[in-house]
Structure 1
Amino acid sequence: MLVENNVPLQQYNTFGIVAKAHTLVRAHSVDDVRALIASPDLAGQPVFVLGGGSNIVITGDVKPVVLKMEIKGLRLAGETDRAWIVEAGAGEVWHEAVAWTIAQGYPGLENMALIPGTVGAAPVQNIGAYGVELQDRFDSLDAVDLATGKTFTLNAAQCAFSYRDSIFKHAPSAAGEYSDLPRGMGLAGRAVITHVRFRLPKQWKPDLGYADLERKMAESGITEPTPRQIFDWVCEIRRAKLPDPVVIGNAGSFFKNPTVTEYQCTDIIAREPKIVHYPMPDGSIKLAAGWLIDACGWKGKSIGKAGVYEKQALVLVNRGNGEDSVTGGEVMTLAKAIQTSVYERFGIRLEPEPVVV
């Protein structure tokens, strides 16, 4: 366990916001996490878990102990007649883990290529892209209780996955045995993920339901793409639409795509015939948050050094640089202004994806 004090966090958050961690602990193993919990100087202090910093907005110096998860490792943990079980350490870069599975011949994650962040953060957010969510490929995860140091394992049902949500995003309630963890029992700030396992299908079928992928298929003339081809297409699509955080600070998609009833959608379409929407299996309709924001005239606009990306209104960006970077306050001021505009025009409340620290 490596403990550092007054650590600049600008390089550890993809927005590039200037801030410091009063105390930062680097964990390269489960034992390092346990050492933090047992430390006479740090035990009992609030802990903020930091992965790739791709889904956070920092609004000031971070007083809780920042636990930087750097556990590595990629391996085939097992297999069944129907699937390969692949395990990844929480500190692995998500995109690199996806690329590794494709290279090894374990398909299934290709639609989620180039999503920023680390593997350990993926279940927290139940990340997803182009018709595939983490829960569709999830097997189980290992975590450590930050109060006791005990390790436990959760399956998909115990993680209580929903759209961009999981048990790790909700505050703790009554204690209980992890072997029989009830839905709704929050683990935010209570546990840290150390390893994640994916169930990747041997009888693989491509997921091509999104217009961008259908367009790539038509342009290429390929009617039966391989996992590698889908992986490459997704990378091309994302690079054309989304800014590279190394070049322009951002936290990826800033708002969740809202869902409405079929009746609500019909009412909105009557007023806004061009609204982008997708029917969901449960009968609800998902609306494209980026379209709603663009329709309100926000694309390319700024408040202070926080701006809306010119090519994709769903992405907020850092228009500052270096020490003259955007502040978390500016980002949230812009986000709230966008929320107000969308609500006033469409009657829909947009919910931010990033965690505000």
Structure 2
Amino acid sequence: MSDAASRHQPVMLQRCVDLLAPAAQHPGSVVIDGTLGMGGHTEAILTQCPHARVVGIDRDPQAIALASERLAHFGDRFIAHHAEYDDMAGAVAAAGVSHADAVLLDLGVSSLQIDEAERGFSYAQDAPLDMRMNSEDTVTAADLLREADQKELARILRVYGEERFAGRIAETIVARRSTAPIERSAELVDIVRACIPAATRDKGGNPAKRTFQALRIAVNRELEILERAIPAAVEAVNTGGRVVVMSYHSLEDRIVKGVFAEGATSSAPPGLPIVPDEDQPYLRLLTRGAEKASQDEADANPRSKPVRLRAVERTRPTPTTRHRRSS
């Protein structure tokens, strides 16, 4: 077993492959794995869809290296693409085609990033507050804590972490950094813990979870990229192509749900006897709402517990009047 395979248990693996496979079984088919990680989903797609090639996108050079080693035996059926996952056009170009047949996005932080303490993603291990998914980016979580003003810190914690005590935490961070920079995860955990009332602190796991999520999202511009990536994924696939997305918190899922619902709904006013072509839906929902991991999977792999999976099939080209800002 490769190092990557031993360190990562892909979420909803077979369900993802089952949803993607109908679009990826013909000779020359191309699948974009927009969040390659350590290659678990890509490996399953390449194994179960023998005619498919997969372009794996990741912003993390270490993930690209580990996955490429794991998938080397597939030869030129696997293509690595170092980029952010909204670069669907670059991935399609890397495969030498005009459109892909399927796209998979497994959002959020990867096992590789969580498990390596020195990268500072985890509130459970003391480490420098880095949190960059791409080590070539310049701004770390420590930089953000040092440079953002109190109002901006509170906004980040409230919006990205849905933290009730965002104002109190931001005020304490600003006061604390006036004497010394906050550079380690244990320091930040202590600050957050002190800001949250005991009655609340004792419920729902580590009280710093939401703050760490918020900083990670801000450092990596996750929602900004996601707002471009979902429409870009829809535009990247042929008619008959499929897009499967797994989200791990409500902010992500809300964006995915909105784009999919827009494409699956007529834009014509209600009651028209004939719906013009430009108002016709161009997506078909493949999932009823958001699917969750089974209880067995959630028990075996705790990281699958918050997952929300949504999938669509492209039924026709997007009418010119309905193109979103992304393509």
Same fold (TM over 0.5): no
TM-score (norm 1): 0.24
Which of the pair is proportionally richer in strand?
Answer: 1
TM-score (norm 2): 0.26
